[in-house]
């Protein structure tokens, strides 16, 4: 049972969803506890500020260097993967990506696909497309398995089931997994998942995975994980299909060690993940295991729009560690589901508008206090607060010709714009300003007691009865 | 126009913003120590033990006895070994007379997948090398020692020569010239399989081995 597909209008109902979480003390506690834990773990991995800073600078340089050569590197990656026997497919949209993957499944009459953790597969809603085509798509990462069993969506890109307590998971397993008694012992719960999923690894026709880094010079797909399900999905079934965004490419193998170190230390505070799995070809003659076919699907889905602009291109530096959400005061309070997008938190706010257009995401960039924590912890120095400001500008400025972004001006409001223009006029003219403040201080009784969103949590704004100017005059 | 051509055309139409090549070598030279073998052994042990692996120092004369001891302690009487490798052949010679059955990976997995998953309690592989900085084993599975040997059996025992310890992953890839010939699958393994997906509580034995045991071969111990 999969969650209902997101209908990609994240801006609609955002306030209501956020409020529901803020009003739920259990969810608040789950997120607060988990984020505190992850922040402490990360800090423990970077005891030396100089090392951290220089490694972040190196990470930023590596990502920017590779993005600078992106078209060339994609072609080189394709050449080298093809030479290694890995089949490369390109998809501009989620629909195209789903059609490619389901086409591979249908060619061999696949019934079951086991999935390693892949946010890009969430982005294209692969599970729904597979279900509609009569192909089972089973999540095998423990957190993803739990949210799929519950008919939900991941609430965090690294820890998908972070919003659930062990008691909820215990009840879920008891109700949904045949023959399982209620237990809230975490080890026992993991062993239940292991047992169920091992049978599925045996049975599966297709293994699906994401990609953390694709190395152009060697034609290699790299996967980072702790559980071993990623290795299962990429080794046990006869066919392995990997899917990735076009930006996750590095030119050289030498670029991988620093990024890997930044990724695992920033994400979960581990000096390295349990497994780092580097795949360069399907099973070769004489080898006794591994898939006979390996495919890579390269997905655009709006990334090329971000790429077209020098500032917005920095969005694509992301290595998906999740540190920005772990440190975000908004994410910690409203959790991952409230955003209504595949990618929540600060990274979600800056990447989703390219995938979904600003029509659907115009309010996302406003769900930020611009405290700057996300930019400060980003391992590849994405200036997230600057990008949030830029996206606000793109959303709320008057629509203009040749917009660089889909949905530019979607949040534009003529009345608000008029008020700001009037304000600017008044502030530029001393005479008008004096008149306005005089009127404001005398006519404050005219202001309504309900002043929109402001008064939902605050007392109404009322100008003081005397202006500063008046008070100074009295003292003189 | 294909999706490929459309994507590449969009990317090529974007402003060209070439950036200088990052100097990864200089960063490692200034930020990572070059240690002696003894220091590397100590660091490796500390890191991989922190990740819940067991490490047993052995020598070329004692490793088989330690292997037997490790298995006996766990009441395991069956071990998957790689026939044709020096360590696999040594285990095949020594262990069966001592009551430990040794099975071999002598046919493609399709022929015995169920047995691999349901009736293979432990395996023995070698590590190609290891990384001190993170407590990481490097495995390059091949036709003799295939990929699933280090993944499916609940107990994975690894033989590692302490002379093959690198300071960093970067050093390992550079010294061994990985970019000029990677195998089908290169693996870094830094402990038994684990997850913290339920309430950030760490649990071992998620999908891969529940136990990782390193027989660390060195002559100085």
Q: Which chain B residues touch A276 with a CB distance below 8 Å?
A: 136, 187-188
Q: How far is CA B2 from CA A74, B7, B202, in A?
A: 15, 9, 46
User: Does a structural domain hold residue B20?
Assistant: no
User: Does residue A23 form part of some domain?
Assistant: yes
Which of A7-11, A81-85, A184-188, A466-470 is predicted with the least confidence, judged by mean pLDDT? A7-11
A370 and A229 within one domain:
no
Convert the pLDDT of each residue in A173-189 to its tens digit.
999 999 999 999 999 99
Residues 388-427 of chain A whose Cβ lies under 8 A from any Cβ of chain B: none
> What residues of A are in contact with residue B204 (Cβ under 8 Å)?
187
Q: Is residue B39 predicted with pLDDT exceeding 90?
A: yes
Closest CA to B104 of B89, B86, B126: B89
Residue % of chain A over a pLDDT of 90: 88
Residue B14 falls inside a structural domain = no
Is residue B7 one of the residues assigned to a domain? no
Q: Residue A304: its chain B contacts at CB < 8 A?
A: 7, 10-11, 14
Are A91 and A236 contained in the same domain? yes
Query: How far, in Å, are A17, A38, A41 from residue A31 at the CA level?
Result: 15, 10, 15
List, for residues A137-176, the tens digit of each pLDDT value. 999 999 999 999 999 999 999 999 999 999 999 999 999 9
pLDDT tens for A293-303 read 999 999 999 99
Chain B contact present for A292, CB below 8 A: no
Spatial CB neighbours of A30, under 8 Å, sequence gap ≥ 6: A162, A163, A164, A165, A335, B199
Q: What is the pLDDT of residues A99-118, one digit of tens each?
A: 999 999 999 999 999 999 99
- Whether A297 and A337 map to the same domain: the answer is no
A467/A461 Cα distance (integer angstroms): 15
Q: Which of the listed residues A331, A365, A396 is the one where a domain comes to its end?
A: A396
For the entire predicted model, the pTM comes to 0.94
Cβ–Cβ below 8 Å for A228 and B20: no
Same domain, yes or no: A167 and A268: yes
The domain that holds A270 is classified in CATH as: 3.40.50.10420
> The domain containing residue A449 runs over which residues?
414-475
Which residues 33-92 of chain A have a CB within 8 Å of chain B?
33-34, 37-38, 51, 54-55, 58, 61-62, 64-65, 67-71, 74-75, 90-92
User: Is there a single domain that holds both residue A362 and residue A448?
Assistant: no
Domain residue limits at B207: 27-217
Q: Count structural domains, chain A.
A: 3
- Predicted confidence at residue B221, as pLDDT, reads 45
The pLDDT of A110-132, averaged and rounded, is 96
Query: Is the per-residue pLDDT at A3 higher than 60?
Result: no
A contacts of B111 (beta carbons < 8 Å): none
A260, A272 in Cβ contact below 8 A? Answer: yes
A360 shares its domain with A248: no
Chain B hits for A273, CB-CB cut-off 8 Å, are 190
- pLDDT, tens digit, 9 for 90 and up, residues A280-322: 999 999 999 999 999 999 999 999 999 999 999 999 999 999 9
Domain-terminating residue out of A283, A304, A325: A304
Query: What's the CATH number where B101 sits?
Result: 3.40.50.10420
Looking at the structure, tell me whether residues A249 and A350 fall in a common domain.
Answer: no
Please name the residue of chain A whose CA is at the shortest distance from the CA of residue B104: A288
Using a CB-CB distance cutoff of 8 angstroms, which residues of chain B are in contact with residue A229?
206-207
- Alpha carbons A59 and A255: distance in angstroms, whole number: 9
**Same domain, yes or no: A363 and A385:** yes
Cα separation, A257 vs A266, whole angstroms: 14
The answer to whether the CB atoms of A275 and B133 lie below 8 A apart is no
Number of compact structural domains in chain B = 1
User: What number is the average pLDDT over the span A110-134?
Assistant: 96
CA within 13 Å, CB half, A74:
26
Distance CA A97, CA A119 (A): 14
**pLDDT band at B55; cut points 50, 70, 90:** very high
With CB atoms and an 8 Å threshold, state whether B185 touches A277. Answer: yes
- The yes-or-no verdict on residue A2 having pLDDT over 90 is no
Q: Which tens digits make up the pLDDT trace of A336-378?
A: 999 999 999 999 999 999 999 999 999 899 999 999 999 999 9
How does the average pLDDT of chain A come out, rounded? 94
Instruction: Report pLDDT digits (tens) over A370-427.
Output: 999 999 999 999 999 999 999 999 999 999 887 889 999 999 999 999 999 999 999 9
**B6 with A92: Cβ contact below 8 A:** yes
pLDDT: which is higher, A177 or A9:
A177
Question: Residue A52: its pLDDT value, please?
Answer: 98
Instruction: Using CB atoms within 10 Å of the CB of residue A62, give its burial: 0 to 12 exposed, 13 to 18 middle, 19+ buried.
Output: buried
Q: Which two tokens stand for residue A395?
A: 């959303």
Average pLDDT over residues A183-204: 96
Q: Is there a domain that residue A426 lies in? A: yes
Mean predicted confidence (pLDDT) in A201-228: 97
Share of chain A above pLDDT 70, in %: 98
pLDDT single digits (tens) B156-204: 999 999 999 999 999 999 999 999 999 999 999 999 999 999 999 999 9
B3 vs A91, A161, A276: nearest CB: A91
């Amino acid at each position: 049972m999969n969650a209902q597909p997101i209908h990609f209008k994240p801006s609609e109902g955002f306030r209501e969803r956020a409020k529901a979480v803020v009003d739920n003390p259990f969810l608040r506690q789950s997120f607060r506890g988990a984020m505190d834990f992850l922040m402490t773990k990360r800090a423990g991995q970077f005891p030396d500020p100089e090392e951290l800073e220089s490694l972040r600078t190196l990470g930023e340089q590596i990502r920017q260097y590779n993005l600078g050569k992106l078209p060339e590197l994609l072609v080189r990656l394709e050449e080298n993967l093809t030479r290694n026997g890995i089949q490369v497919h390109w998809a501009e949209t989620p629909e195209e990506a789903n059609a490619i993957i389901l086409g591979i499944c249908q060619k061999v009459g696949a019934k079951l696909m086991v999935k390693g953790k892949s946010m890009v597969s969430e982005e294209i809603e692969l599970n729904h497309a597979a279900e509609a085509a009569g192909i089972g798509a089973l999540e095998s990462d423990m957190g993803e398995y739990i949210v799929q069993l519950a008919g939900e969506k991941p609430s965090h890109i690294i820890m998908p089931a972070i919003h659930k307590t062990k008691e909820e998971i215990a009840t879920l397993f008891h109700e949904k997994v045949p023959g399982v008694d209620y237990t809230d012992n975490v080890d026992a719960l993991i062993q239940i998942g292991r047992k169920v999923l091992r049978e599925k690894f045996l049975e599966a026709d297709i293994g699906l995975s994401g990609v953390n880094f694709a190395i152009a010079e060697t034609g290699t797909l790299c996967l980072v994980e702790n559980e071993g399900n990623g290795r299962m999905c990429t080794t046990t079934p006869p066919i392995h299909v990997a899917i990735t965004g076009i930006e996750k490419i590095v030119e050289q193998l030498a670029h991988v060690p620093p990024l890997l170190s930044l990724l695992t230390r920033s994400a979960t505070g581990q000096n390295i993940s349990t497994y780092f799995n580097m795949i360069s070809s399907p099973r070769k003659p004489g080898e006794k295991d591994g898939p006979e076919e390996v495919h890579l699907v390269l997905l655009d889905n709006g990334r090329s729009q971000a790429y077209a602009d020098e500032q917005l291109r920095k969005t694509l530096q992301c290595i998906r560690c999740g540190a920005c959400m772990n440190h975000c005061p908004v994410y910690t309070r409203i959790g991952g589901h409230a955003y209504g997008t595949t990618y929540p938190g600060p990274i979600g706010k800056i990447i989703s508008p390219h995938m979904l257009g600003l029509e659907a995401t115009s309010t996302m960039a406003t769900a930020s206090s611009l405290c700057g924590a996300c930019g400060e912890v980003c391992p590849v120095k994405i200036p997230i607060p600057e990008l949030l400001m830029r996206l606000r500008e793109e959303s709320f400025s008057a629509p203009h010709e040749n917009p660089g972004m889909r949905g530019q001006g979607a949040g534009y409001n003529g009345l608000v714009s008029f008020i700001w223009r009037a304000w600017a006029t008044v502030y530029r003219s001393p005479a008008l300003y004096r008149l306005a403040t005089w009127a404001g201080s005398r006519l404050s009784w005219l202001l309504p007691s309900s002043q929109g969103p402001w008064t939902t949590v605050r007392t109404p704004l009322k100008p003081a009865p005397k202006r500063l100017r008046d008070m100074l005059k009295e003292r003189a | 126009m294909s999706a490929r051509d459309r994507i590449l055309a969009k990317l090529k139409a974007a402003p060209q913003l070439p950036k200088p090549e990052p100097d990864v070598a200089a960063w490692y030279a200034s930020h990572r120590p070059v240690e002696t073998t003894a220091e590397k052994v100590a660091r490796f042990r500390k890191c991989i033990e922190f990740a819940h692996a067991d490490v047993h120092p052995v020598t070329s004369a004692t490793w088989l006895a330690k292997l037997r001891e490790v298995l006996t302690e766990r009441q395991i009487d069956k071990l998957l070994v790689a026939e044709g490798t020096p360590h696999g052949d040594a285990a095949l010679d020594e262990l069966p007379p001592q009551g430990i059955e040794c099975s071999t990976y002598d046919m493609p997995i399709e022929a015995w997948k169920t047995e691999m998953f349901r009736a293979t309690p432990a395996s023995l592989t070698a590590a190609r090398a290891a990384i001190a900085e993170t407590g990481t084993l490097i495995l390059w599975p091949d036709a003799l020692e295939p990929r699933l040997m280090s993944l499916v059996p609940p107990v994975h025992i690894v033989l590692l020569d302490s002379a093959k310890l690198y300071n960093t992953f970067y050093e390992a890839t550079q010294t061994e010239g990985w970019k000029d010939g990677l195998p089908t699958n290169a693996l870094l393994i830094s402990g038994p399989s684990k997850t913290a997906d339920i309430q950030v509580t760490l649990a071992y034995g998620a999908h891969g081995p529940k136990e990782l045991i390193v027989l660390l071969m060195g002559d100085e111990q």
